[in-house]
Amino acid sequence: MKTEILSDRSETELRRAAQLLAENKLVAFPTETVYGLGANALNGDAVKRIFEAKGRPQDNPLIVHLESPQKAEALAYTSELYYKLAAAFMPGPITVIIPKKDVLPEAVTAGLDSVGIRVPLYAPARELIRIASVPIAAPSANISGKPSPTKAEHVIADMDGRIEAILCGDDCKVGVESTVVKITGEDSLVICRPGGVTEEMLKAVCGNVTIDPAVLSKFDGKPVSPGMKYRHYAPEASVEILVGSEEMVERFLSDKTDFAVICYSGDKKLQKNKNVLILGDENDSQEQASKLFSCLRECDKDKSIKNIYARMPKKSGVGLAVYNRLIKAAGFKITELK
Ligand code: TXA
Ligand code: MG
């Protein structure tokens, strides 16, 4: 298949992308979190093609992207808490899971009775949805199991030839996927996936905020979000997280070969290694989030790298999302250095 490469800076090309979506074709598009792989959420056949293009497991539901929070009325049962969250965080990097209505095809929700609603902050994405005039089901636009795409070039690498069009735009500022929350009561929600909207921010709006155990560690039960159970965000080399000071990591690496090290801008000694990826300032979790997936993809380009060692990030604020993506890339392999 020939994939049209379009730019969101051209009004004509943005319209072309919207037209393809309205015609039930697949179009990848930028958001503030990661690039999405979109299809008309009301068309079951279009939605099924998303799963084929990504090689995505059928039991993993998609989230639905809308131009405004009110548009959810046609698709799902909203509530007071939904609108409180919408007022505080939409448009923005959050997905809110609420009970779905029957108009949504089974393929979108993978048979669940709920649907994730998201209104992206990145303006061209909302413009695209507005012009297409349909709700857009979209997972991240990567091949299943690869790190999510945060730059147009990542999407082209994964999806060229598999979908009708790629709308290219800015690099994704947040850099990790949206915070997924499920409303579980009048004043309660569960964080199923951490992201740009943090636990602290949610606590300012909702009385009872809990974190699904699958977010923080290997979890053998059934996570609230089916997506949390897969080994995700994986580059081809194996990933291991190292807990310890820069000196401890340096000592650990001294007898290792064929590795890359992920560290922070202050880790000057570690930066003397051959393959170094700097996530950013150790105390700037947002900077780390925006660079994480690019770093993991960078490692994939060099086939001589067999192991990636990442010095443990700070877990507070958006740092929880960085930690969550790293432990999943690492298949929960964490080593405490002595
Ligand atoms: O930032 C994002 O959320 C990006 C951009 C494109 O918007 N999208 C994205 O989609 O990350 P995806 O499919 O890669 O991740 C959606 C996550 C999965 O873990 C899925 O299991 C969960 O949301 N999810 C979706 N619908 C759900 C539902 N009804 N109940 C529980 N979890 C759900
Ligand atoms: Mg994904």
φ and ψ at 8, to 5 degrees?
Answer: -75, 0
Q: How far is the CA of 256 from the centre of ligand 2 (A)?
A: 32
Cα separation, 324 vs 214, in Å, equals 9
**Residue from 58, 89, 94, 95 whose mutation best tests the ligand 1 pocket (most atoms within 8 A of CB):** 95
Which residue spans within the chain are E strands per DSSP?
A: 4-7, 27-29, 36-40, 63-65, 94-99, 114-118, 136-137, 165-168, 179-185, 188-193, 208-211, 238-243, 259-263, 276-278, 307-311, 334-336
Ligand nearest to the CA of 139: 1
Six-digit token string for 230: 């897969």
Specify the ligand 1 atom closest to the Cα of 36: 6
Element (H, E) at 327: helix 319-329
Query: Pairing relation of β-strands 188-193 and 179-185?
Result: antiparallel
Q: What pLDDT is attached to residue 216?
A: 86
Does 225 sit in the ligand 1 pocket, CB within 6 Å? Answer: yes
Cα separation, 44 vs 329, in Å, equals 31
SS3 209: strand
Does 30 sit in the ligand 1 pocket, CB within 6 Å? Answer: no
Element (H, E) at 199: helix 199-203
Query: Pairing relation of β-strands 114-118 and 94-99?
Result: antiparallel
Q: What pLDDT is attached to residue 229?
A: 65
Cα separation, 5 vs 26, in Å, equals 12
Does 62 sit in the ligand 1 pocket, CB within 6 Å? Answer: yes
What residue's CA is closest to ligand 1, atom 21? Answer: 227
- Find out whether 270 and 263 touch, Cβ atoms under 8 Å: yes
Cα separation, 263 vs 20, in Å, equals 42
Cα separation, 147 vs 98, in Å, equals 27
Over its C-alpha atoms, the chain yields an Rg (Å, rounded) of 20
**Residue from 47, 63, 67 whose mutation best tests the ligand 1 pocket (most atoms within 8 A of CB):** 63
Q: Is the peptide bond before 91 cis (omega within 30 degrees of 0)?
A: yes
Ligand nearest to the CA of 29: 1
φ and ψ at 124, to 5 degrees?
Answer: -60, -30
Six-digit token string for 195: 């992201």
pTM of the full structure: 0.96
Q: From the CB of residue 178, how many other CB atoms can be counted at a distance below 10 Å?
A: 30
Cα separation, 334 vs 337, in Å, equals 10
Does 57 sit in the ligand 1 pocket, CB within 6 Å? Answer: no
- Name the DSSP class of 299: H
Cα separation, 193 vs 289, in Å, equals 14
Residue 33, C-beta contacts closer than 8 angstroms, at least 6 positions apart: 93, 120, 172, 174, 175, 176, 177, 178, 195, 196
Q: DSSP characters for 129-144? A: HHHHTS-EE--BSS-T
Q: Kindly give the confidence (pLDDT) of every residue in the chain, 338 residues in length, as a single tens digit, with 9 standing for 90 and above.
A: 999 999 999 999 999 999 999 999 999 999 999 999 999 999 999 999 999 999 988 889 999 999 999 999 999 999 999 999 999 999 999 999 999 999 999 999 999 999 999 999 999 999 999 999 999 999 999 999 889 999 999 999 999 999 999 999 999 999 999 999 999 999 999 999 999 999 999 999 999 999 999 898 887 777 788 776 666 667 788 999 999 999 999 999 999 999 999 999 999 999 999 999 999 999 999 999 999 999 999 888 888 999 999 999 999 999 999 999 999 889 889 999 98
Residue 301, C-beta contacts closer than 8 angstroms, at least 6 positions apart: none
SS3 36: strand
Chain centre to alpha carbon of residue 319: 14
Does 97 sit in the ligand 1 pocket, CB within 6 Å? Answer: yes
Specify the ligand 1 atom closest to the Cα of 115: 29
Q: What pLDDT is attached to residue 236?
A: 80
- Sign of the Cα torsion 88, 92, 93, 97 reads positive
